[in-house]
Amino acid sequence: MSETARIPAFRRGVKLRFDTVRDTWSVLAPERMFVPDEHALAVLKLVDGVRDLDGIVDELAAIYDAPREVIAPDVAALLQDLADKGVLAW
């Protein structure tokens, strides 16, 4: 499978949820929680276990009106980082 067709998904037991008391998004996981930065949040909101890397890059390119080639490596690196942290399976 090519790199761009890989599909990221939340690991079992990991959730993204809006925290109404603090008015921010939070990632909740076993004995962990953190507030994702703006870039991570934009990517995490598009992770649904169906969209592949290509699909995520397409969406972000449209949202930010930026060229795909510029965004793609950053998104891949971000996904890898979130996978290393145990947030995503990727």
Partner 1 sequence: MVNAEPPLSLLLELTHKCPLQCPYCSNPLALERGGGELDTAAWLEVIDQAAALGVLQIHFSGGEPMARPDLPQLVKRAAERGLYSNLITSAVLLNAATLAALAGAGLDHVQISFQDSEAAGADRIGNYAGGHAKKLAAANLVRAAGLALTLNFVVHRHNIARVPDMIAMGEAFGAGRIEIANVQYYGWGLLNRAALLPTRAALDACTAAVYAARERLRGQMVIDYVVPDYYAAEPKACMGGWARRFLNISPSGRALPCHAAETLPGFDWPSVREHTLADIWNGSAAFARFRGTAWMPEPCKSCDRREIDWGGCRCQAFALTGDASRTDPACELSPDHAIMAEAAREAERAAPEFVYRRIGANVGAAQS
Window of 7-15, 44-52, 54-62, 69-77 that interacts with partner 1 by CB under 8 A: 7-15
φ, ψ for residue 59, nearest 5 deg: -60, -45
Task: By CB under 8 A, tell whether 23 contacts partner 1.
Answer: no
Take residue 86 and report the two structure tokens written for it. 């145990």
Binding mask 31-70 for partner 1 (x = CB under 8 A): x-x-------------------------------------
3-state helix, strand, coil in the chain (%, to 5): 45, 20, 35
Give first-to-last CA distance, the chain, whole Å: 13
29 closest CA partner among 66, 70, 83:
83
Exactly one of 5, 6, 30, 48 binds partner 1 (CB under 8 A); that residue is 30
Residues that bind partner 1 (CB under 8 A): 11-15, 17, 19, 21-22, 26, 28, 30-31, 33, 83-84, 86, 90
